[in-house]
Amino acid sequence: MAALKLAIGNKNYSSWSMRPWLALRANDIPFVETLIPLYTDDPADKEQILSFSRAGKVPVLVDGDVTVWDSLAIIEYIAERYPEKKLWPDDVAARAHARSVCAEMHSGFVPLRSECGMNLHRPIRPVALSAEAKANVARIEEIWRECRTRFGAKGPFLFGSFCAADAMYAPVVHRFRTYAIEVAPDTKAYMETMMALPAFQEWTRDGLAETLVIAKFEDA
């Protein structure tokens, strides 16, 4: 069986690429990684992205003659392709809750994304957040706390064992840390759990080793 192929962007900056990459790596699912530099002036980079998907964006997963793009769609496909990995909780209520918080992450939190872009190279220091971004932080803390309280009794992750929800919220852990955002002790504990995950550490090391600098992401 041919290995899965995952096209991703710069690990230092690409939060959307991190999500399905982490879902695969943390579950020991073999795949071939293709890193395509984003926001360069080289037209070959854009053409390479288009060769994976006409949507023109990464991440993109290729499984034989099946192509899946968009982080959440890829995670859903992985969950169906490898049901034994249990990327979604077994319990119906927990699974519904996990899908809901993943969808909220997928479509929301725009102020936090805009004001605290993912940038692993950035020195750790706070920024002045807007009221909207602060509300995003409070809502994310609420989500994590509720998941842990209701469904996390059997392990340290949001639903006990590592699952799709942890993958979807992983870049937020980097944002909270990089921008020195003040959070509650239970939020810090969950962040420490994620940062101790070998796959999370691997992505972080790779991102820090990158040398490409995108100027527009270095202003904050």
pTM (two decimals): 0.94
d(CA 163, CA 90): 11
**8 A C-beta contact, residue 11 and residue 206:** yes
**8 A C-beta contact, residue 60 and residue 69:** yes
- Give tens-digit pLDDT for 75-103: 999 999 999 999 999 999 999 999 999 99
Q: Are strands 4-8 and 31-35 parallel, antiparallel or unpaired?
A: parallel
* 159's tokens: 């639903």
Domains of the chain: 4-85 (3.40.30.10), 92-203 (1.20.1050.10)
- Give tens-digit pLDDT for 104-140: 999 999 999 999 999 999 999 999 999 999 999 999 9
